[in-house]
Amino acid sequence: MYKEIKLKRLYYVFLIPLGILLSIISSKAPEAVEAVYSTVIYKIFIYVLSFVNGIFPFSIAEVIMIFLVIFIAFNIIKSVLLLFSSHSHKYARILNKLINALVVVSLLYFIFIIIWGLNYHRLPFSALSKLNVENPKKEELKLVCMDLIAQANELRYMIKEDSQGAAQIQHGHRQVINRAPLGYSNASNLYSFIGGKYSKAKGVFFSRTMSHMGISGIYMPFTGEANVNISIPDSMLPCTVSHEMAHQRGFAREDEANYIAYLTCKLHPDIEFRYSGILLALIHAMNALYESSPAEFASLRKTYSDSVNRDLKQISDYWKQFEGPTEKLQNKINDAYLKSNLQEEGVKSYGRMVDLLIGEYRNSNSINN
């Protein structure tokens, strides 16, 4: 039986501009967001979600995404068949489906803003940690790179290797996931605001699919789960797990999550974590040095140990095999996502991690002096 077009449901679409307005207002008041939202309201959401998703050993988010893809594909096929049918009210039915889809998107966007998205506008990590990140100098960056290279070379000699001579984690991804909270426990002694009890990260069954999309991990705000691509090279697995756990703790900015991953890995009791964190920082710092001074980059690059070079080659070779339209599309989507949350630099904002590394270097030197 024919039903009228459900135009009244379009009122839900106003949730999109409402969410955008809320986001813009929040971006003007980071102190209020930090005091009221990130440390109070968001904590309630994430503790409830952590309790619920912690009951399940698998990723709820992955299951939802699988069913969502099937559901969307089924409805697209159904709509196409309806379009070419002789049904008298086919256009009205298709329009109702589109309205329903728009309503769902509007609701999900607004819920996203409420349960997690406002964390993009909390106080920056540099302010919370009191690290001085103002006016970083090229000489400081070079010294940071030299220090990271020395640490990476030293730590790498203590890491087990696979048959190809690359770093290997002896007990697999489950051991990494189970022990990752230890780094946060130690780091919370330095910065109490990254402490707390949350559900463990979860390995994704379709990890290779994530690799085809250029994704090493993803935090799902709707379930509170830190999802990890477990097919990536072992040298990057501990820092990737720690990165997604940073998002779980309400640090939405990618550059800050990278720094927190480095910090928590660096303070971890396991050598594999410490090396992974240092390697992550080294990659970002040296990339920044290359942009600033290619000649100094080339000079320092020669000081990498052979074993560190093997790990970097493995990482590069791994991701090269997935380069293509899907990976490029996902990168554009990620860039648009960051910008939609008022992260104006988009993907380039990942490079700001280096400022925090320099701030840590300054702090360490002032203490030592």
pLDDT of residue 66: 94
Q: Are 168 and 234 in contact (CB under 8 A)?
A: yes
pLDDT digits (tens, 9 = 90+) for 19-59: 999 999 999 999 999 999 999 999 999 999 999 999 999 99
Task: Over range 278-301, report the average pLDDT.
Answer: 94
pLDDT of residue 330: 46
Angle (CA) 340-344-349 rounded to 5° is 110
pLDDT digits (tens, 9 = 90+) for 122-173: 999 999 999 998 888 899 999 999 999 999 999 999 999 998 999 999 888 9
Residues in the chain, overall count: 369
Q: Are 238 and 106 in contact (CB under 8 A)?
A: no
Task: Over range 98-105, report the average pLDDT.
Answer: 89
pLDDT of residue 1: 39
Alpha helix positions (H), the chain: 15-27, 30-32, 42-53, 60-83, 90-115, 125-129, 138-156, 172-179, 181-187, 207-212, 237-248, 254-266, 271-292, 294-301, 306-320, 325-340, 353-368
Distance CA 4, CA 29 (A): 44
What number of other Cβ atoms are within 10 A of residue 351's Cβ? 17
DSSP string, 31-69: HHIIIIIIIIIHHHHHHHHHHHHTT-SS-HHHHHHHHHH
185 pLDDT exceeds 90?
Answer: yes
227 pLDDT exceeds 90?
Answer: yes
pLDDT of residue 2: 43
Question: Nearest 5°: phi and psi at 347?
Answer: -60, -30
Percent of the chain scored above 70 by pLDDT?
89
* Confidence band of 93 (pLDDT split at 50, 70, 90): confident
Q: Are 240 and 173 in contact (CB under 8 A)?
A: no
List the one residue out of 217, 42, 241 whose CA is nearest residue 122: 42
- pLDDT, the chain, mean: 89
Distance CA 117, CA 3 (A): 37
Tokens 């490079």: give the residue: 351
Q: Are 223 and 247 in contact (CB under 8 A)?
A: no
Tokens 């790498």: give the residue: 156
pLDDT digits (tens, 9 = 90+) for 199-218: 999 999 999 999 998 899 99
Q: Are 261 and 155 in contact (CB under 8 A)?
A: no
Task: Over range 284-302, report the average pLDDT.
Answer: 94
Whether the pTM exceeds 0.75: the reply is yes
Task: Over range 244-258, report the average pLDDT.
Answer: 96
